[in-house]
């Protein structure tokens, strides 16, 4: 991240049903309770334009979308998000907690859809103006368990309209999972993997322990004397 950025940029990634959204909400609650200014956001989406792009991307009726079109739409949403939300928040010194970011395109469109990784990295560089997370946490669990969890959640919350990528077969989600693990292995300074095959409370304990070690800037506990 450019040196002029005062904030902290944390992204969370994982396959469907990995529990990252719940974990990010819990973390935001904790940080705010300790007075930390944090912005919670997500991709695709995070801006009015991005939300409209998200609706197209996830629409199960958008059958036959070319993989490159999928990638371009994701990059379009990302560009608007970086300019309107992420960059200003980081410049203002906020902690940005982002549910998926550029690495998701490498995992899903690269490993999942077999688009050449370097093309995706080049497009990400453009879309993000080179703003990359300080830390990326991958919530890892088996694709079978993740998809089962995602199906249960969708049924409970009537989210059938949000499922074009979730509807891909198990082999696709296996490639995405393997992709995330491969990119984490390549760069263990920016990435960390949390085993997410446990209950929400247990995973949150693991997440906090990891952040204490890797992101001391985040206020996870009350300041002394407060
Ligand atoms: P979500 O369910 O975590 O909000 O993510 C929406 C879907 O978008 C999910 O199936 C993953 C997919 N996605 C990509 O394929 N590539 C990307 O770059 C991003 C950000 C999301």
Q: Which of 75, 4, 10 minimizes the C-alpha distance to 216?
A: 10
Ligand 1 pocket residue status of 177, Cβ below 6 Å: no
Terminus-to-terminus CA distance in the chain, angstroms? 32
> Residue 98 above 60 pLDDT?
yes
Tell me which of 43, 55, 79 to substitute to probe ligand 1's pocket, judged by most ligand atoms within 8 Å of the beta carbon.
43
The count of other CB atoms within 10 Å of the CB of residue 3 is 5
Tell me which of 104, 128, 167, 179 to substitute to probe ligand 1's pocket, judged by most ligand atoms within 8 Å of the beta carbon.
104
**Tens digit of pLDDT for each residue in 186-201?**
999 999 999 999 999 9
- pTM comes to 0.95
What pLDDT shows up at residue 3? Answer: 55
> Residue 226 above 50 pLDDT?
no
What pLDDT shows up at residue 2? Answer: 61
What pLDDT shows up at residue 21? Answer: 95
Q: Please, what is the average pLDDT of the chain? A: 93
| C-alpha of residue 35 to centroid of ligand 1, in Å | 30
Using pLDDT thresholds of 50, 70 and 90, give the confidence band for residue 179.
very high
> Residue 86 above 60 pLDDT?
yes
**Tens digit of pLDDT for each residue in 132-171?**
999 999 999 999 999 999 888 888 877 665 578 888 999 9
Nearest CA to ligand 1 atom 16: 105
**Tens digit of pLDDT for each residue in 15-44?**
999 999 999 999 999 999 999 999 999 999
Burial of 44-53, coded b for 16+ CB within 10 Å and e otherwise, reads bbbbeebeeb
Q: Which of 34, 49, 25, 30 minimizes the C-alpha distance to 97?
A: 25
């Amino acid at each position: 991240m450019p040196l002029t950025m005062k904030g902290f940029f944390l992204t969370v990634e994982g396959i469907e049903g990995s529990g990252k959204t719940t974990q990010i909400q819990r973390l935001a609650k904790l940080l705010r309770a300790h007075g930390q200014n944090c912005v919670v956001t997500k991709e695709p989406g995070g801006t009015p334009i991005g939300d409209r792009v998200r609706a197209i991307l996830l629409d199960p009726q958008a059958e036959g979308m070319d993989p490159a079109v999928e990638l371009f739409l994701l990059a379009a949403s990302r560009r608007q998000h970086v300019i309107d939300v992420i960059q200003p928040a980081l410049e203002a010194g906020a902690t940005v907690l982002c549910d998926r970011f550029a690495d998701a395109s490498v995992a899903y469109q690269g490993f999942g859809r077999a688009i050449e990784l370097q093309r995706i990295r080049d497009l990400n560089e453009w879309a993000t103006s080179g703003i990359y997370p300080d830390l990326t946490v991958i919530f890892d669990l088996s694709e079978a368990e993740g998809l089962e969890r995602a199906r249960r959640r969708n049924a409970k919350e009537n989210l059938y309209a949000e499922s074009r990528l979730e509807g891909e077969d198990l082999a696709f989600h296996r490639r995405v999972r393997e992709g995330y693990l491969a990119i984490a292995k390549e760069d263990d300074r920016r990435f960390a993997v949390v085993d997410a095959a446990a209950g929400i409370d247990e995973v949150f304990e693991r997440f906090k322990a990891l952040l204490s070690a890797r992101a001391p800037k985040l206020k996870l506990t009350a300041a002394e004397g407060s």
